[in-house]
A and B are shown apart, each in its own frame.
Chain A
């Protein structure tokens, strides 16, 4: 590691400056969520507010706060959005990982007719944006009675995430030394057992990496959700953000507060699995 121990002062400085630039909008978002609205939309700017408070958060969580007058999105059903978002994101991540891994296993472990064709078709599905799918999906889902439900979202997001998962995972499964699973089989393990005992643990980092991407994609998806969800039974955070700029409502602070709340689960999730992420991406890129 002596290479890395050398001083790279320049690199360090660059890194910190860049990080700061990337952080400014985040910090500004947090700061704005605590300022009164009158200090947010103003010129000259109020850089250092003396009236900071957590009212916008309290209002979101349903605690009583002093009424600020007409024009504020105090009645935003934060709890419903949170439940819908977390169920849709976790549910679709779970299914995408299972289904995608099975597909990846097929791609990386077998050679069969049409393999590249199917692989490519799956990837191409990623090129189709949600808007192009949204209205036909609404018609279909309505017929199946899953429009405006969380399961409907889960199905849509699962499909959205399967291709990328399959792709990343195929890199991982391909990386597993064949000798290992063969050795396991010689030891008397069935093919299935070797899959479970040898291969699954080795693909952990891959699952983590794919999991992060799937979770974030579903958590932040807007185009499909904006069409197939309509009520608090299924509306997610990105759709709910628009509650703050409806007719005669302009609550920028409230919107920032909800944005911050929306980031928290994503951050927790990313921190939890990020160590595996780098490893996961390494393998996913080289193989697959």
Chain B
């Protein structure tokens, strides 16, 4: 990477502070980010870390009492938490991979359409502009069993009321929230992969044409390998975001019925705010964030490795 080669302050400093800036400047540049991040992320995380060892509830009178690891122990005994965690992992794995495959195929198809690329891109980006809350409301309604769009289309096709409880039945509820998630976020993948495909030198593709490669061969042997960094970055970003999934699921099913679509954050929210157990909610946040952090760490290691290989 480009780093070590910048020579700063060739002339010796007349000012003590800045003469040492060879080592300080990068930190000075980072300072605003660190300050604002500490303020908005660091402090709240410290706060809830402390709270997670107390019996603090939203309505308790008097100060919170220290209870040690009690909340964490409660958590590990809670089967709903364990299942919600597993479900979140599944949700993430399925969604990220589906979005990846769909994104790759759509981007590849779109790259062959030359005229109107700008318009196509804007159209495909429409779902990205939807607030997750809004997608939740829309899809909850689309999959409503009584008057929803999907069941109404089925009504027209079959000529009699077809009442499929999309949001209720196992595993339909889970699939339905996945569909909404995939609809909303595949465009992100498409846009990134499209950018990647555009960056592939056309000479390489033309050369492969001369060699008589089929479309599929070109896709597998040229397009996909050159997209690797894009794939990692897109998957990393999406994994992080999906691990945080809350808005969409909370509105579509609220994690229900009977915890059938419960994800970690819908559960945390209900515990912390509705059930007023803020301390327990904090403990749960902590465990989950810790897992997310480990996962992110892994992803970034991978990303850096791929980049090194490229270089």
In the complex the two chains form, is B183's CB within 8 Å of A162's CB?
no
In the complex the two chains form, is B47's CB within 8 Å of A139's CB?
yes
In the complex the two chains form, is B132's CB within 8 Å of A222's CB?
yes
In the complex the two chains form, is B134's CB within 8 Å of A285's CB?
no
Q: Which residues of A contact B37 (CB under 8 A)?
A: 122, 125, 159, 162-163
Q: Which residues of A contact B289 (CB under 8 A)?
A: 127-128, 132
For chain A, the bracket of interface size reads: 35 or more
In the complex the two chains form, is B147's CB within 8 Å of A43's CB?
yes
In the complex the two chains form, is A131's CB within 8 Å of B265's CB?
yes
Residue of A95, A107, A159 contacting most chain B CB atoms (<10 Å) = A159
Complex interface residues of chain B between 256 and 311 (CB less than 8 A to chain A): 265, 268-269, 272, 278, 282, 285, 289, 292-293, 295-297, 300, 307, 310
Does residue B172 face the partner (Cβ distance < 8 Å to A)? no
Q: Which residue of B lies closest to A108 (CB)?
A: B2
Residues 125-163 of chain A: 1 if any B CB is under 8 Å from the residue's CB, otherwise 0? 111111111011101100000000000000110111011
In the complex the two chains form, is B29's CB within 8 Å of A105's CB?
yes
Q: How many positions in chain B have a CB within 8 Å of any CB in the partner chain? A: 107
In the complex the two chains form, is B123's CB within 8 Å of A23's CB?
yes
With A103-B29, A112-B23, A115-B26 as contacts: A8 and B40 at CB distance below 8 Å: no
Does residue A14 face the partner (Cβ distance < 8 Å to B)? yes
The number of A-B residue pairs with CB atoms under 8 Å apart is 294
A25 to B141 Cα, complex, angstroms? 11
Complex interface residues of chain B between 94 and 144 (CB less than 8 A to chain A): 105-106, 108-114, 118, 120-134, 137-139, 141-142
Q: Which residue of A lies closest to B131 (CB)?
A: A220
In the complex the two chains form, is A132's CB within 8 Å of B123's CB?
no
With A25-B142, A238-B133 as contacts: A127 and B243 at CB distance below 8 Å: yes
Indicate which residue in A155, A174, A270 contacts B36 across the interface (CB closer than 8 Å): A155
Q: Which residues of A contact B192 (CB under 8 A)?
A: 281, 285
In the complex the two chains form, is A109's CB within 8 Å of B230's CB?
no
In the complex the two chains form, is B296's CB within 8 Å of A127's CB?
yes
Those 7 A-B pairs whose CB atoms lie nearest each other, nearest first: A159-B40, A136-B44, A220-B131, A8-B112, A129-B244, A106-B29, A45-B152
